[in-house]
Structure 1
């Protein structure tokens, strides 16, 4: 491997891509389906790229090897797939960033942008409803959620889930009771509720207290929390996702839930239909998000933009009757784009990653 010394800085022109073994996101070759396209795109650009698998027992060896041979890392690891939990993996990434490698994305960026309580940090903006809340303790959840539900349908979101797991639409089962409840009144534990999970749109009828006991699992443990957000009825018209590479919007996905019942999930697994559009077709939304991004960065703690990330919006109705957009989630830990490889996103990712290394060293790296 060629090593360049530029202004006293050792530059390898090489980027490591992290993965973990196993998990439902892997293809027959053991990689995520979008990992090797990224690696090949980096190599086609004249840089070195290599996939390295993380195991907790290899952490120190990986640190030594990566710092000696690479300028940057790209994380393609679903935190839920890390053996023994994500702590050791995030610690390695933090150490690599501290050692001078360009991190994409760093644990700080993942936590700032990707944690579900990012919505709570933004509830002073026009992006999310002001009554969006987060519960970090079981006691607070049991105290406040019965009151929150008295105002109308709510959505609970766990911090660790993916593809809709642990995201629940919650409503009072008896419509007459729901209409008669005085907002601000704590509902009793035996109130019958209807809960629909986004992972597959299945619905359960159970007592409020029993359901809350079930949800305690989402709060306990590392990075546990539940976000409590107002249900947006126009979700049935579809969720609108902007996929970005760095600051650049690449495409917009209109994800329409399967019709019928209390369906609200916008995941492919639940039967939602996806339409892929160019950003120009959603100009109002894309421009609004671009204008809001500095505010988002300020509220979430810095402008370290993730390498590959998404922002999901739901439609709402403004007081004047026009469409408005409500932010439902930001994802950046391990955004996949398998269905969009023919759009050339891997080349955009490679160019952005290489550009970040060149910017960091503030020098022209020879070919």
Structure 2
């Protein structure tokens, strides 16, 4: 009699009907299901919603590992119920990717401040209270030029703002232009003090704001470096339009991003970035944050903008965020790498 293959629950958000109907084939993660099965694992859907959280908990306590794809903010819903549930499952010894505590170290904007000394870092400030923000940001902004402000947790560009001075302060007011990274946003002229008041909500529930200089090479695009554990599994390159000021004038439309072009880990244009991520920056991040290799997410990505060329004219790279909670879409090679990593953990080296 042979042992049953290890069971892997794949968690994503959906309603009751979606949970009833879910199969390994009828969802966007079907390639991951296929690759996990191909290496001798038994993946199963585990659609989550707060309405039936107890039912999901019961399911997760019956499997051997859990892979989670749930955004921190999704149509007004958060992970306030899901994260404690996952911690409860993790305490029993089951592998959770990504563990909520790892997300709180890696997958928040504060990581940009904590790792600012690494080669991907720039002049990054952190404000933990509204008072600190009001007192410290203004002189930095007035002296340093355009900045990008980021609330600690979010997705889809929510709470990420380009802030730029329109004119010299006059009559007690400082007029600025703000542009949110959320799709469909257009620039807005507002008094600096009023904008700071608008941002006070980002400090609730131990929130914070991270402040970085705006990168002038943003129109050249963003490179998304995908990793499974500490191993690069592919790249995505995209001409982003978030925080790029659209043309002014009547009938102006919000700019739309270009397609994300996926590339394998071996793609020649990205080998310098790959080497730095695998040999330098990921180990340095792990050491700084106190994350062990076994706790790294099964899939995550680091988003880079082009920084100023170095003295030799070579590209530099500036980290603008790390995504952990719900990394998808992914390169074609990534599902097999995810399966290999899971099989190595649960069965043994492949």
**TM-score bracket relative to the smaller structure:** 0.7 to 0.9
Unaligned runs of 5+ in 1: 5-10, 182-186
| Structure-2 residue corresponding to 1:334 | 326
Displacement, 1:128? 0.8
Displacement, 1:55? 3.7
| Structure-2 residue corresponding to 1:8 | none
| Structure-2 residue corresponding to 1:37 | 31
Runs of at least 4 residues off by over 4 Å: 29-33, 57-61, 258-261
Mapped pair 1:80 → 2:66 = no
Cα distance in 2, alignment partners of residues 213 and 296 from structure 1:
33
Mapped pair 1:237 → 2:220 = yes
Which of 92, 102, 118 matches 2:85? 92
Displacement, 1:71? 0.7
| Structure-2 residue corresponding to 1:302 | 291
**Contact 1:192–1:206, Cα closer than 8 Å, also in 2:** yes
Which of 274, 278, 283 matches 2:260? 274
Cα distance in 2, alignment partners of residues 242 and 155 from structure 1:
21
Cα distance in 2, alignment partners of residues 237 and 104 from structure 1:
32
| Structure-2 residue corresponding to 1:106 | 99
Q: Kindly tell me: are residues 48 and 276 of structure 1, through their superposed partners in 2, closer, same or farther at Cα, counting changes over 3 Å?
A: closer
Cα distance in 1, alignment partners of residues 137 and 345 from structure 2:
43
Cα distance in 1, alignment partners of residues 137 and 147 from structure 2:
9
1:50-199 to 2 correspondences below 5 Å: 50-56=44-50, 58-67=52-61, 69-81=62-74, 85-129=78-122, 131-150=123-142, 151-174=144-167, 177=168, 190-199=173-182
Q: Kindly tell me: are residues 41 and 82 of structure 1, through their superposed partners in 2, closer, same or farther at Cα, counting changes over 3 Å?
A: farther
Cα distance in 1, alignment partners of residues 172 and 152 from structure 2:
24
The two structures have a TM-score, normalised by structure 2, of 0.84
1:4-43 to 2 correspondences below 5 Å: 4=3, 13-21=6-14, 33-43=27-37
Mapped pair 1:255 → 2:238 = yes
Q: Kindly tell me: are residues 349 and 148 of structure 1, through their superposed partners in 2, closer, same or farther at Cα, counting changes over 3 Å?
A: same
Displacement, 1:82? 8.8
Structure 1 SS opposite 2:154: coil
Mapped pair 1:352 → 2:341 = yes
The two structures have a TM-score, normalised by structure 1, of 0.80
| Structure-1 residue corresponding to 2:207 | 224
Displacement, 1:162? 1.4
Mapped pair 1:317 → 2:308 = yes
Which of 170, 174, 195 matches 1:211? 195
Question: In the TM superposition, what whole-angstrom CA distance separates every residue of 1:261-314 from its partner, at most 9, and x where no partner exists?
Answer: 6259xxx98323433333332111111111221111011221321111111111
Displacement, 1:113? 0.9
Structure 1 SS opposite 2:153: coil
Unaligned runs of 5+ in 2: 248-253
Cα distance in 2, alignment partners of residues 36 and 205 from structure 1:
45
**Contact 1:313–1:329, Cα closer than 8 Å, also in 2:** yes
| Structure-2 residue corresponding to 1:184 | none
Displacement, 1:195? 0.9
Q: Kindly tell me: are residues 315 and 263 of structure 1, through their superposed partners in 2, closer, same or farther at Cα, counting changes over 3 Å?
A: farther
Cα distance in 2, alignment partners of residues 188 and 289 from structure 1:
49
Q: How many residues align?
A: 333
Cα distance in 2, alignment partners of residues 277 and 54 from structure 1:
31
**Contact 2:180–2:242, Cα closer than 8 Å, also in 1:** no
